[in-house]
Structure 1
Amino acid sequence: MKDLSITKAEWESSRIDSVLEIEKLEPDDMESFVRDFLLPNLQHSYNHVKEYISNNTRKNIYTIKKQLADLIENQEVVRISTSEAFESTNISKFGASYLILESLNDIYLFSSIMKSKIPTCDANTKLLFTLGKLSKEICTLQKEIRESLEQQARSCLRI
């Protein structure tokens, strides 16, 4: 039991560190953070979960990816795909759902924090709109994934 509590403490500490990292971001760093962390993390978690989610949820994740790509000026470096081969892993559907929810949590936190740091002016209107849209769509998407997860868990109990 002691090992579990140490792991939990390390996990909570790493989550707090990631929140602090996002809070330290400046608007000038936003593009590289999206390109180097958020998009690859979302793609990786999507690859694990896509066989367990509905087509509508897949489409909504793709929309999130496109909105993140809109935050990057040089979009040629961005790879957005829903047709990649499944990664062969030993992650369960519940583990995969956890990964995608954590990735979406990071994006939600990022968009909320960046929205508060970017000055309101005509030049930033599109950027602020995209960040606001991300926040709203992620809430809906997380709810879809949680409901799907709960439904799968209930169906496992019936068997």
Structure 2
Amino acid sequence: MTSSADEDQPLVSMVIPVYNSLTYLSETLDSMLHQGLSENELEVILVNDGSDDGSERVVDEYAARYPNFRVIHQEQSGGPATPCNVGAYAARGRYFFLLGSDDVMTPNALRDLVTVAEREESDVVLGKLGSLGGRGTPKSVYKKTVYDADL
């Protein structure tokens, strides 16, 4: 957990770049509500990259409803790197996670990843991911659990 000197610092910053992902966006954002982390432990940074399909309204609604959700609106950048970087610069958490706006996390996944990171004193942890809408996720990287891998 964080020390008293860092009591205003969230434990995890979740950055979600958003561009015209209305179909799955609510499911993605709802999955953030069930991560076993309090509003003080989890900040969700939504970087709207010039959406024009209604996604921009959805992210604003979540930010109005949940105090740990923040929205950064920007002009469309033309690619995924810029909104990811904007979110990373805005992140305040001890740990950082990047999630696609068409991906979901199973309940308590972030809590479990933090637990492993702290127990193993890891700089990097990777959990299994799934995607919405039929896009496959390669299973080859998930064949075994490795707690001490050289990267």
TM range (shorter): 0.3 to 0.5
- Greater per-residue helix proportion: 1
